[in-house]
Amino acid sequence: MDTTLQDPLVGQLLDSRYRIDGRIAVGGMATVYRAVDTRLDRVLALKVMHPTLAADATFVDRFIREAKSVARLSHPNVVGVFDQGTDGSYVYLAMEYIAGCTLRDVLRERGALQPRAALDILEPVLAALGAAHRAGFVHRDMKPENVLIGDDGRVKVADFGLVRAVDTVTNTTGTVLGTVSYLAPEQIEHGTSDTRVDVYACGVVLYEMLTGAKPHSGDSPAQVLYQHLNEDVPPPSAAVPGLPFALDELVASATARTPDIRPYDAVALLARLREARAALTEEQLDAVPPQARTAAHDNAEDRTSVIPRAARSGRLPLPTEDGQGGEDALNRTSVLATPPPAPPAAPGRAARRRFDPRRRMIAVIAGVLLVLGLGTGIWYINSGQFTKVPPLLAKTEAQAKQRLDDAGLEVKDVKRTYSDTDKRGTVMGTDPAAGERIRQNGQVTLTVSLGPETVKVPDVKKLPLAEARKELKNSGLAPGMVTKKFDEGVKKGAVIGTDPRAGFTRKAGSAVALVVSKGREIETPDVTGESEADATAELEEAGLKVEIDPSQVHSDEDKGDVARQSPAPGKSLAEGDTVELTISKGPPMVEVPDVTGMKVDEATDALEKAGFEVDKDRGLLGLFGDTVKDQSVDGGDKAEKGSSITITIR
């Protein structure tokens, strides 16, 4: 059924100007419509706040703030805002209309994307956010729903409704704004937001594009919040084997739980993205990912929520708009209501057995079988006394035991083992497996996760980078982001240190950042104007390598001398870095003007303007003359710029 037919605004003229033609999307705070500006005769998107929220000054202020903020951002990858106004109980924004789809639509349809496609989408997103960050704003609600992909391929960032100035605190009233799956740890724990929360969210979006699933999941928002606070985003290659390390490193950098470790803003992350792209081969960029891991989504996917502070610690279940918990509560755009009272405790095993109608029915059937005789009894033995093992994966041990008890089954044994993918305390498997046939009152063995195995960070100081990475992998850790700095005490290319430091305990598979030595810092000497031999000797003596550009250039330097160098003089280089020298072919050849017959002053001026020096030869006959009778280089011929031309005066 087309629910837009029931929308009272469809077909109406809002504010005597905007004719609403249809509904595009519904969120917890506003509805977006396709509309026509009847004054300018153009199609646009109209974002109308829900009337129930329009009475709240805080939400109205947020709407107006969005209009003002985006109006200041003139960027091709930001959805523009044209107008803002009110009409009775309706508060609206008139925005640019993008014919196309959202990134969520793409992920829902295609699942994991090729690395090239993921980077092609993220790059303009970061460009848009970078413009916002440099203008002093934080988006605070980056997610696939807010990335629009036009039919012409343009990518634009939408919904700056949660935007705040960079130097302001997110909230002081006990709530956190944002979508649970993309919240940075500091947003959850402290309620603070700067540019790095957008960087974190973009890292999660990149992980989702590369794998087709979110890095953290759970049965309630509280479980997801807990994972954001206590668990690193896993490397995408753990879900999609074969993804290159450069992408793992990019995701790890953006989603570091400690904000100081992340790139400072979207501009810095964009630079990291371009470095990662440059490190990938064409085959790696175009690798087709497996689609089996595509996450299922529903129509209420990934919406923004206002989350009570108490929910951050995991103490309260977070309800959805209809008051129910569950996966849908992770994704809604809504003002979450106070959690409903907990249901009464379930009766104990003895009470359940006493009043369980199912058990009474089995007893009645057993009595009837005794009367009916052996034939029916055989049916009961072969079929009636069997059931199936219920699905228990991802349930807590207590929940699994309860479900087995409700099914009339018992727990035979509980085995525990480490797992990088299953949350500690949850069921990884059962024996017999879920759905298998088992006798009633039969026994099931549970395998419960101990969570990731923890390991100590090894000491890799002074090891070459390749060996250090190998050592980390052998220890059960993942080599993380690499940064470089000068260090005279550690050989170039060797490890100065790690973060976390050696000896610290981390869960298996965690990324460890590496700091690698660039060697001794050298200030590049200025060798322009020196001969090739002298310049080469000076640079090599300073600890640098020299390459000669095969193409020479005309310059003011003498032929055979250094015309220019790269890097430029004064730049900091590491020992063993290369300086490229370009050799001069001498000054350029310039056409000599014909000055014979001119007055001396006129001829001198013409030659100097052409770039030559002038020598005057008057001889005995020219002592009192003022006319040029001859010149050392004929007019129309070429001579080196800056060379001397002799004029004979008579």
pLDDT in tens, 47-68: 998 888 777 777 777 777 767 7
Q: Is the pLDDT of residue 343 over 80?
A: no
* Total domains, the chain: 7
Domain encompassing residue 357: 349-384
| Predicted structure pTM score | 0.48
Does residue 246 lie in a domain region? yes
Q: Is the pLDDT of residue 582 over 70?
A: yes
* φ, ψ dihedrals at 110, nearest 5°: -105, -20
Q: Which of 552, 582, 579, 583 is nearest to 567 (CA)?
A: 579
Helix orientation angle between 245-254 and 195-211, rounded to the nearest 10 degrees: 150
d(CA 580, CA 637): 35
Q: 430, 451, 472 — which closes off a domain?
A: 451
Claim to verify: residue 226 and residue 304 sit in the same structural domain: yes
Contact 532, 560 (CB under 8 A): yes
Does residue 270 lie in a domain region? yes
Does residue 472 lie in a domain region? yes
Claim to verify: residue 445 and residue 400 sit in the same structural domain: yes
**Catalytic one of 141, 159, 232, 265:** 141
Q: 268, 301, 335 — which closes off a domain?
A: 335
pLDDT of residue 640: 86
Claim to verify: residue 225 and residue 373 sit in the same structural domain: no
Q: Which of 288, 264, 289, 263 is nearest to 276 (CA)?
A: 263
Catalytic residue check, 630: no
Percent of the chain with pLDDT over 70: 80
Pick 354 or 394 by higher pLDDT.
Answer: 394
User: Lowest mean pLDDT: which of 78-82, 118-122, 305-309?
Assistant: 305-309
Quote the tokens at residue 491.
């050989």
Claim to verify: residue 189 and residue 218 sit in the same structural domain: yes
CB atoms closer than 10 angstroms to residue 432: 15
Does residue 531 lie in a domain region? yes
Quote the tokens at residue 387.
């059931």
Quick one: CA torsion of 303, 306, 312, 314, rounded to 10 degrees? -70
Does residue 400 lie in a domain region? yes
Q: Is the pLDDT of residue 478 over 90?
A: no
Instruction: Work out the pLDDT band at 315, boundaries 50, 70, 90.
Output: very low
Claim to verify: residue 189 and residue 231 sit in the same structural domain: yes
Q: Is the pLDDT of residue 272 over 90?
A: yes
Claim to verify: residue 353 and residue 374 sit in the same structural domain: yes
Q: Stretch 229-258: mean pLDDT, rounded? A: 93
d(CA 72, CA 81): 9
Contact 646, 615 (CB under 8 A): yes
Claim to verify: residue 88 and residue 127 sit in the same structural domain: no
Q: Which of 365, 430, 381, 421 is nearest to 403 (CA)?
A: 430
Claim to verify: residue 61 and residue 108 sit in the same structural domain: no
Q: Residue-wise over 78-116: b if at least 16 C-beta within 10 A, else e?
A: bbbbbbbeebeebbbbbbbbbebebbbbbbbeebbbbbe
Contact 138, 164 (CB under 8 A): yes
pLDDT of residue 163: 52
pLDDT of residue 421: 65
Does residue 343 lie in a domain region? no
Q: Stretch 216-223: mean pLDDT, rounded? A: 84
Claim to verify: residue 267 and residue 296 sit in the same structural domain: yes
Q: Name the average pLDDT for the chain.
A: 80
Q: 68, 95, 122 — which closes off a domain?
A: 95
Q: Is the pLDDT of residue 13 over 90?
A: yes
Does residue 435 lie in a domain region? yes
The C-alpha angle 333, 334, 337, rounded to 5 degrees, equals 155
Q: Is the pLDDT of residue 621 over 70?
A: no
CATH number for the domain that contains residue 331: 1.10.510.10
d(CA 536, CA 542): 10
Q: Stretch 345-370: mean pLDDT, rounded? A: 39
CB atoms closer than 10 angstroms to residue 443: 14
pLDDT of residue 349: 35
Q: Stretch 523-543: mean pLDDT, rounded? A: 94
Q: Is the pLDDT of residue 11 over 50?
A: yes
pLDDT of residue 151: 82
pLDDT of residue 75: 86
Claim to verify: residue 201 and residue 147 sit in the same structural domain: yes
Instruction: Work out the pLDDT band at 210, boundaries 50, 70, 90.
Output: very high
Pick 338 or 170 by higher pLDDT.
Answer: 170
CATH number for the domain that contains residue 507: 3.30.10.20
Task: Return the SS3 of 647.
Answer: strand
Q: Residue-wise over 594-618: b if at least 16 C-beta within 10 A, else e?
A: ebeebebeebbebbeeeebebeeee
Residues in the chain: 650
pLDDT of residue 137: 83
Does residue 341 lie in a domain region? no
Claim to verify: residue 565 and residue 635 sit in the same structural domain: no
pLDDT of residue 291: 57
Task: Return the SS3 of 628.
Answer: strand
CATH number for the domain that contains residue 52: 3.30.200.20
Instruction: Work out the pLDDT band at 480, boundaries 50, 70, 90.
Output: confident
Q: Stretch 324-328: mean pLDDT, rounded? A: 36
d(CA 617, CA 425): 103
- E-strand ranges in 281-436 read 305-308, 334-335, 386-388, 410-417, 427-431
Q: Is the pLDDT of residue 81 over 90?
A: no
Claim to verify: residue 181 and residue 48 sit in the same structural domain: no
